[in-house]
């Protein structure tokens, strides 16, 4: 059966050139700093993000955890969006493991935090309050239609942080999608950020891994945090080799995913019983709402799945489609046909 897997960009399989690079990778003990392939990936990542140094870690969740622990101590507070991945989907690890208190402010539909809301959430110096240390942004914003946050906004948040002696962390799991959509370099989006993480294993199709980027002394702290989380890997160059291919070969093709997502959204919005805002489909993520109250996302995704089209239910009447490396424009047309049939049942 033809399969069009739109559940996530994390389902991507390593490309043939990634597999070759992994097989041939020169490796060493990375806890001793002796893995040349990891070192090369970290140098490349730092350079692309315009930071001094970088650290290869196992996942996006670990990248965020390490980043927060390196900025904050126990009892410190972070300001982040109420739809942020770090808040919703990382087990509250910042509090559970780091002792870090979250203050959530509403994410706007485009993934931004209103500047007034950020200012309001910054604590005064008072014995009753935790100390605000960090503002966390997500770019692109997964739960907010994969929206890219523009450089002007990112700089405006950086300015607030500087004025109040705070730091900025960017969960840039899909920062290269943001840069592609906005027509800028990824480093232009994070010039004011003290740390930025990005995932190799999502839209860039590497099998494993994320990278934390920041100043040299910050990355030294992050390295310690990674170790205590159990993330000090040894011959990790096998994985980093695929990451290098991800950075060199997979960024330029992201526009195809965005075009496919836009096409999907544009046609689905015209289908009776569904609502999608094609204006919101700016990167590779599309959220689809079911207007027909007799139909649930569980039932509709099961119907689609019987014809090989896979989506993720994200609410009782909401589903998510994420275009990715394995999905062609022809697959999108096929998926659209399957949607029409599934809604007629």
Q: In angstroms, what is the minimal distance from the CB of 206 to ligand PLP? A: 11
Q: In angstroms, what is the minimal distance from the CB of 102 to ligand PLP? A: 15
Q: Which of 12, 15, 37, 61 binds ligand PLP (CB under 6 A)?
A: 61
| Residue 147 in the binding site for ligand PLP (CB under 6 A) | no
The DSSP symbol for 11 reads G
With beta carbons less than 8 A apart as the criterion, state whether 94 and 68 touch. yes
| Residue 257 in the binding site for ligand PLP (CB under 6 A) | no
The DSSP symbol for 307 reads T
Q: Which of 173, 281, 342, 343 binds ligand PLP (CB under 6 A)?
A: 173
Strand spans (E) along the chain: 4-5, 53-57, 76-81, 101-105, 131-138, 167-171, 195-199, 210-214, 274-275, 285-290, 309-310, 312-315, 318-322
- What distances in angstroms separate CA 286 from CA 89, 94, 258, 259, one per listed residue? 19, 28, 10, 12
What would the x/- binding string for ligand PLP be over residues 180 to 219, using CB under 6 A?
-------------------x-x--------x---------
Q: In angstroms, what is the minimal distance from the CB of 270 to ligand PLP? A: 28
Q: In angstroms, what is the minimal distance from the CB of 272 to ligand PLP? A: 31
Residue with tokens 């914003």, as numbered in its chain: 141
Size of the site for ligand PLP (CB under 6 A): 11
Q: Parallel, antiparallel, or unpaired: how do β-strands 167-171 and 101-105 relate?
A: unpaired
Interatomic CA distance for residues 273 and 200, integer angstroms:
36
| Residue 85 in the binding site for ligand PLP (CB under 6 A) | yes
Q: HSE on the CB side for 172, CA within 13 Å?
A: 31
Binding segment for ligand PLP (CB under 6 A), chosen from 57-65, 115-123, 176-184, 306-314, is 57-65
What per-residue string of b and e applies to 284-314 under the rule 16 or more CB within 10 Å gives b?
Answer: bbbbbbbeeeebbbeebbebbeebebbbebe
| Residue 138 in the binding site for ligand PLP (CB under 6 A) | yes
The DSSP symbol for 253 reads T
Closer to ligand PLP by CB, 113 or 274: give it: 113
Q: Which residues pair with 310 in a beta bridge?
A: 5
Q: In angstroms, what is the minimal distance from the CB of 208 to ligand PLP? A: 9
Closer to ligand PLP by CB, 271 or 312: give it: 312
Cα maximum dimension of the chain: 63
For residue 96 the two structure tokens come to 């559970």
Interatomic CA distance for residues 303 and 22, integer angstroms:
38
Q: In angstroms, what is the minimal distance from the CB of 285 to ligand PLP? A: 9
Q: In angstroms, what is the minimal distance from the CB of 141 to ligand PLP? A: 7
Binding segment for ligand PLP (CB under 6 A), chosen from 21-29, 59-67, 68-76, 118-126, is 59-67
Closer to ligand PLP by CB, 208 or 288: give it: 208
Q: In angstroms, what is the minimal distance from the CB of 138 to ligand PLP? A: 5
CB atoms within 10 A of CB 228: 11
Q: Which of 35, 171, 194, 331 binds ligand PLP (CB under 6 A)?
A: 171
For residue 15 the two structure tokens come to 């490309």
Q: In angstroms, what is the minimal distance from the CB of 319 to ligand PLP? A: 16
| Residue nearest ligand PLP, CB atom distance | 60
Binding segment for ligand PLP (CB under 6 A), chosen from 47-55, 58-66, 243-251, 262-270, is 58-66
For residue 93 the two structure tokens come to 């690890």
- Taken in order 327, 329, 334, 338, the sign of the CA dihedral is positive
| Residue 60 in the binding site for ligand PLP (CB under 6 A) | yes
Q: What is the binding site for ligand PLP (CB under 6 A)?
A: 59-61, 85, 138, 142, 171, 173, 199, 201, 210
């Amino acid at each position: 059966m033809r399969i069009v897997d739109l559940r996530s960009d994390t389902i991507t399989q390593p490309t043939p050139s990634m597999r070759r690079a992994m097989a041939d990778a020169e490796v060493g003990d990375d806890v001793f700093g002796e893995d040349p392939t990891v070192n090369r990936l970290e140098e490349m990542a730092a350079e692309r993000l315009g930071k001094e140094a970088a650290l290869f870690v196992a996942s996006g969740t670990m990248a965020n955890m390490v980043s927060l622990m390196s900025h904050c101590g126990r009892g410190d507070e972070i300001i982040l969006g109420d739809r942020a991945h770090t808040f919703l989907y990382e087990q509250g690890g910042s509090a559970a493991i780091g002792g870090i208190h979250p203050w959530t402010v509403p994410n706007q539909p485009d993934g931004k935090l209103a500047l007034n809301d950020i200012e309001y959430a910054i604590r005064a110096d008072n014995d009753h309050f935790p100390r605000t240390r960090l503002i966390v942004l997500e770019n692109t914003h997964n739960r907010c239609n994969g929206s890219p946050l523009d450089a002007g906004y990112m700089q405006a948040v950086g300015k607030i942080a500087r004025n109040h002696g705070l730091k900025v962390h960017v969960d840039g799991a899909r920062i290269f999608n943001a840069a592609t959509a906005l027509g800028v370099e990824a480093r232009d989006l994070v010039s004011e950020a003290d740390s930025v993480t990005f995932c190799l294993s999502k839209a860039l199709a590497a099998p494993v891994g994320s990278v934390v980027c920041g100043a040299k002394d910050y990355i030294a702290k992050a390295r310690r945090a990674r170790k205590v989380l159990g993330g000090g890997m040894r011959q990790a160059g096998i994985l980093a080799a695929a990451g290098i291919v991800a950075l060199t070969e997979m960024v330029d093709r992201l526009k195809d995913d965005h075009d496919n997502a836009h096409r999907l959204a544009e046609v689905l919005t015209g289908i009776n019983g569904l609502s999608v805002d094609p204006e919101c489909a700016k990167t590779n993520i599309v959220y689809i709402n079911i207007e027909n109250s007799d139909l649930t996302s569980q039932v509709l995704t099961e119907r689609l799945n019987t014809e090989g089209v896979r989506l993720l239910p994200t609410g009782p009447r909401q589903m998510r489609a994420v275009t990715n490396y394995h999905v062609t424009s022809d697959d999108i047309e096929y998926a659209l046909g399957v949607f029409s049939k599934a809604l007629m049942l």
